[in-house]
Amino acid sequence: YYVEDPPGVPEDASRAVIARYARGEDYHDVVKDKLVSLARWLDTKIDSKLHARAYVDTGPILERDLAQRAGLGWFGKNTMLINPQRGSYFFLGLLLLDIELPSDEPFAEDHCGTCQACLDACPTGALLGRDGSGAPIIDARRCISYLTIELRGPIPVELRPLMGNRVYGCDICQEVCPVNRKAAASQEPAFKKRHDFDAPELLPLLEMDDEGFRARFRDSPIKRTKLVGMQRNVCVALGNIGDPVAIPALARALRESDTLVRGHAAWALGRIGGPQTASTLQSALASEHDNEVRKEIEASLADMAVPATGG
């Protein structure tokens, strides 16, 4: 599914960075359709009726372990399955069958060696090397992919500045992997990047409504974050940029959005700073009733050395 970054990304801080796997159609549907087609083909090649079930991240199946046992690659220090020819920019699917098939030899070698490019590059320090058995270790609670997609609550304050302008997933540990220097651009039409998923501007993402979010990301894995999660992530990105042009949009989010978004908007405004921001935060504090949001506002005012005079 590899696609090139557009010019200026991720350096252009006004634009959001979305993980490559989510820049096309939803891989769950695309890969599952291919597995179902494969099952139908297999059914024409045997005498009895074939029973099959396809999984693509949709059941309690350890796809990576089975892929390693099937000889497809090894577990890199970034926890990804890495194929020596294709790198790690690929999806895994599984087809359960009720017929016996010849098995391949497991992939036994570890090609990472002494390289720890991914460990050194991870902004949040989520990658922790290997344990005594050689298995890669990750603190998923620090992984940007987890923070921007799976985490439903507030992003830990100490990790927010490390996320940059990444609002959905992260490819850093794959981008620095030497094996991925060979990665070829995807030839699958469904995985070709869409213009509006490539590197969208941050401010319009913050100002979307629920209907607009569902329409824009209907056939994309990005819909998993839901609108609230995306807006939370965008607030963090805008805070990291620190551009005062975002103040009006963040001020509206501080007044009108879900409590989760309001809290992160307060943090972002505190990062931008300035008299206009201080006034906005004090005004919001006077009318805010949610304790967690109030704490975010008070912390931002404290960081700016401004008295928390509201309410």
pLDDT in tens, 255-296: 988 999 999 999 999 999 999 999 999 999 999 999 999 999
Q: How far is CA 275 from CA 261, 284, 303, 304, in A?
A: 22, 14, 13, 10
Q: What is the CA radius of gyration of the chain?
A: 22
Q: How far apart are the first and last CA of the chain?
A: 51
What is this structure's pTM? 0.93
- Contacts of residue 157, defined as CB under 8 A and 6 or more positions apart, other chains included, come to 267, 299
- Helix orientation angle between 226-241 and 259-272, rounded to the nearest 10 degrees: 10
* Predicted local distance difference test score (pLDDT) of residue 59: 85
* Predicted local distance difference test score (pLDDT) of residue 177: 98
Between 269 and 311, residue with greater pLDDT? 269
DSSP annotation of 248:
H
Q: Which long-range contacts (CB under 8 A, 24 or more apart) does 218-226 make?
A: 219/25, 219/26, 219/29, 220/22, 220/24, 220/25, 220/26, 220/194, 221/21, 221/22, 221/26, 221/27, 221/28, 222/18, 222/22, 222/168, 222/197, 223/26, 224/149, 225/148, 225/149, 225/168
Between 311 and 284, residue with greater pLDDT? 284
Sign of CA dihedral 163, 169, 173, 178: negative
Tens of pLDDT, residue by residue over 98-156, are 999 999 999 999 999 999 999 999 999 999 999 999 999 999 999 999 999 999 999 99
Of 281, 271, 208, the closest CA to residue 244 belongs to 271
Catalytic residues: 57
